[in-house]
Chain A
Amino acid sequence: MQQPPSPLWTNASSRTRLTGTWRSAMPEYQDKPSPCRGACPVAGRIAEWVRQIELGDYYGAWLTLVDNNPFPAVAGRICHHPCEGACNRQQLDETVGICSLERFVGDMALAEGWCFPEPAAAQDQSVAIVGGGPAGLSAAYQLRRRGYRVVLFEERGQLGGLLRHGIPAYRLDKTILDGEIQRIIDLGVEVRLQSGIADAGALRALHAEYDALYLATGASRPKTLPELDYEQPWVQDGADFLAATNAGEACELGQRLVVIGGGSAAMDVARTARRLGRSVSVLALEPDALLPAQPIEVAEAREEGIEFITGAMLQAVESLGDGLKLQCVRVDFQQGETRGTFSVEPVSGSGFVLSADAVVPAIGQDADLARWDGLLDSDGPVVRTDAQWQTSRPGVFAGGDLASMDRFVTQAIGMGKMAAEAIARHADPLQPGAVAANGSEVPFAEINTDYHPLAGRLQPGNLEVEARLRTFDEVQHPLAQDEAIAEAARCFSCGTCIYCDNCYFYCPDMAIAKLEHGYDVKSDYCKGCGLCVAECPTGAISMGQE
């Protein structure tokens, strides 16, 4: 019998239908910069190394960290952490404790004895670095790892600059500093201690000998107050005070100290003096809210029994047989437009008197530009540099407090890094510049907070006040490993792909392919709905226009 026609069964795959033609926009994986990175003075890949901590890859985290900063243990203690101020997470609950995480990794590296990777193949050029503080050491590290010969000239007998002479041990234990400096030296940096470049002639001679110079001599000249006679035994400049006490010298000042200044240095002086058994008052021009020191420093200083007299200035000092009478007056303080500038107007009739045995002014320091006798152009109180950190003298670069009024340790480390990159390009113009991150910083709105449950920040504890006043032990406790992982898990990883596979699993069109490391959008099928972007927990994907 004849066969009837077959019924209409379906057996072809819908793959034949290319739904990608529906699309008006396609997602793109961008690895966009996080706001913390933008705020970081060394442009550290914070989201990346914090993620590595979360995954337990501490060595990887350390390598990522030291790509931009050879001082994670130092920075983890004393960085002013603008990264945390920029952190998107504060719009959900609290910022991620980036600084304490950095310290966690930095300390682990020291404890484990991790070394930097071997430098790149030796280059022909050599660079002289003048100044062994954070900027100089950072530049030395970045140049040395690129294979340049680096000779570091330091005026004093030890490296570290402000880190060694200005930061008290209760904030930065010197063994930590020694460890991180030694690791840089171990890369093969040649060090010349007690070797200042004292004048223009010495600078010229040095430049003749090296392909490039990097000047990072810091700000060594204290600003002075006209109301004070610095010759008097009851006056000691803050920087000198800190250098002496950091060197372990005995303090000759009397029992009642007045520290003048509201910045970090003033806090360091005040708190060091407390540890030496002195009673301390801080006299600052700024009102409480505008004190330039970190709020945590001020809070800890108050805990330690330091009295704050803010919004006031010294007008005159009267020395009596049994002490000093400080004539002071309240002031109306107006902040200027640039950092460090301000105006004050004494409030008439608000005078008052402070009794003291000694005065320690800690109102800042200026760079010593005079020694080079006009060889380099200046820009106000600092050496003038261009966008490449090069001075008016080609081949001579400058950084740190010598070239900037920013006066933050990590700012100096960042400047050293950028100068090193510029010097490398100067030495070899064909060298690729630093890879800029894609696109603009990820705003909070691009983070899908559904994947980030509320969780308060883990604040490492502090040493008890009584113990602080007896010793120079570090005030801040480190994070334990489980705490570090928990804190790292709070990070949104803004703009950084964490390979969570959300984009793959949420795609209704099977249009995301998993690659060995990352993902690919299948343009044949992607309809451009943007679900992958919406469900990306880190904002690492964006819709691109087609």
Chain B
Amino acid sequence: MFDYDAFLQAVSIVFTIECLLWIAVGVFIGVGVGALPGLTAVTGVALMLPLTFQMEVASALGLLIGLYKGAIFGSSISAISFATPGAPEAAVIVEDGHHLTTKGKGRKAILMSLYSSVTGDVASDVMVILIAPALALVALQFGPSERFWIMIMAIALIGALSGKHFAKALISAGIGMFIATIGTDPIGAVPRNTFGVWWLRDGIDLIPLVIGIFAIGRVIEEIALLTERNQRVDVALSKLRAAMNVTGEGLSWREFRAASGFIGGGIVVGTLVGMLPGLGATAAAFIMYGIAKRFTPGEMDESGALNRIAAAEAGNSATVGPTLVPLLVFGIPGSAVAALIGGALMLQGATPSPRMFELHPEIIYALFIILILGNFFNLGIGRIFAFIYARLGMFPRELLIPFILVLAIVGTYAYMGNPYHVLLMLIFGLLGYLMRVFQLPEGPLIIAFMITPLAEGNIRRALLINRGDWSDALFASPLAIGICALAGATIAILVLSRRLKSGV
């Protein structure tokens, strides 16, 4: 099974000055791309792809994988510092991260995010290397019926995100579900709920939605507060001077160790979610955050906030390696980034296919080495960025608000170059503001938005495959029945724990 010659060959192509330099460049660009709202790992990798045409295969993989890893961590920097998620996967930590920043602990929060990201990533990469082929075989067992139950399971876990007011969470999820139905029917390919607006036919994209709800919603709220306070610019400038003198508090080893359970959970969830096509980093972050929330004390508690950040960040970073598993073993990209990396491999003459392990073992090993190596680059480069951004995050709101606004608009436009996305983002900003006014939680909206099309597509396909027979469609295999039982158990545990907590 283990091809020693190919491994040696892989070592010799990875440990060259050129390849190592490209990994560093990739991580450096990635952290920046991730931190800029709207520019996600997918956009970054897509933009860099043409550069790789002329490169050696190891350098090409180094650049793209370094960028991917850097971007997943980078998105948390702006979430923590500016309350603006750099990418959807960081949206869940905005609340806790920014809360810490306003208390002068932004540096601590970013370091926790960095260390848990890197730990989650390293551990999941090791898992990928050890069990890649076997894992992909399991992933293929999941057909439409099984995936439908996975979605139900995810919704059950998200119940944990709902906060104190279950009804408000349901309203929020309902809005998310409706937004998700706008666009083209996943089976019939006819437009629905588009209000006759032609450009809504492609549906609502996650990027303008997330930036609108989480960044613009907050900006509008802050503007409303500022006008009330009627503060003057010189007050702002004096605050700025004060901010530059503050050295943020670092992260202690004890705090990191205290979060190890959450990081461990993140690794398991991230690895599993990463391997399943379609879910990815955002779902892993939201699921782990939901789990962490059940086990951590109240909103304002500092260690609780740190633990939740650790859980979410370990969860989303642990999806990085596993999303490549279906690509390497079966040639099926499990995510958009995996598809682009597959494209880069194809241009290098190594088309990902079920025969990849047999035809290009040295490339597979080189990729494994780069996966592990990239984490160390991420750690080093991430630390430098953490230091700079933590200071930026303490800038007074009067200066930050216009900055966030510009970042959000530029980022949303840069994402696909679609001006309608900017319009949608502003509309969702208003929605986000209204939700904050009425104290509706945003989490259920986002997760319902992501899960609805997957759940709908899968159950409708299961019905088509089983010619309209509901019982066959729902319980097609022992696996489907098993996940259904697991989802049932999750709901039961959540309901029970809620009752115990409220003392009913």
* Chain B binds chain A: no
Residues on B facing A (Cβ under 8 Å): none
